[in-house]
């Protein structure tokens, strides 16, 4: 098998294990939504490689880092709509409105962060590393603001 197939299989297996372990150790706290998006991307790739779904693998190969951000956006939309912790991943009963507002803001920023992944595909520093780092820093600051309120 090609190296990238093996990489997706290993990455997918590690992603699933990480989600399981994080769920077991979270003590009821919400899992990091950005990390869930990254792990979803790896799990989709791993499952596709394992089941020989070449069309999905070809799509991921074509999307490159954009696929990663699309998975983060999917997690963001889903958690903003159906989770009390929202996309920011913070449950504070006295700050539900703030959590929803910050989740929408983080979702907007994630949408903006996705743009470079399409425009300068393959330039990992500018299309993935910097936008993902900014999302992570922003998420931490928003969680901190919710906790202080």
The per-residue pLDDT for 5 is 82
What is the predicted pLDDT for the residue at 25?
87
**Which has the higher per-residue pLDDT, 87 or 3?**
87
Dihedral-angle region of residue 32 (phi above 0 means left; psi in -120 to 50 means alpha; beta otherwise) = beta
Of 7-11, 30-34, 97-101, 135-139, the range with the lowest mean pLDDT is 7-11
| pLDDT at position 19 over 60 | yes
Per-residue confidence (pLDDT) for residue 38, from 0 to 100:
95
**What's the pLDDT at 140?**
96
pLDDT in tens, 106-143: 999 999 999 999 999 889 999 999 999 999 999 999 99
> Residue 1 has what pLDDT?
56
Q: Can you give the pLDDT at residue 91?
A: 86
């Amino acid at each position: 098998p090609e190296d990238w197939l093996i990489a997706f299989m290993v990455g997918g297996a590690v992603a699933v294990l990480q989600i399981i372990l994080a769920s077991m150790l979270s003590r009821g706290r919400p899992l990091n939504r950005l990390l869930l998006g990254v792990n979803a991307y790896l799990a989709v790739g791993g499952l596709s490689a394992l089941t020989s779904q070449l069309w999905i693998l070809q799509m991921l190969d074509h999307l490159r880092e954009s696929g990663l951000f699309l998975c983060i956006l999917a997690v963001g939309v889903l958690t903003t709509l159906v989770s009390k912790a929202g996309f920011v991943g913070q449950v504070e009963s006295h700050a539900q409105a703030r959590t929803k507002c910050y989740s929408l803001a983080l979702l907007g920023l994630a949408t903006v962060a996705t743009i470079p992944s399409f425009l300068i595909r393959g330039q990992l520093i500018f299309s993935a590393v910097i936008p993902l780092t900014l999302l992570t820093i922003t998420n931490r600051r928003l969680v901190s603001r919710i906790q202080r309120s």
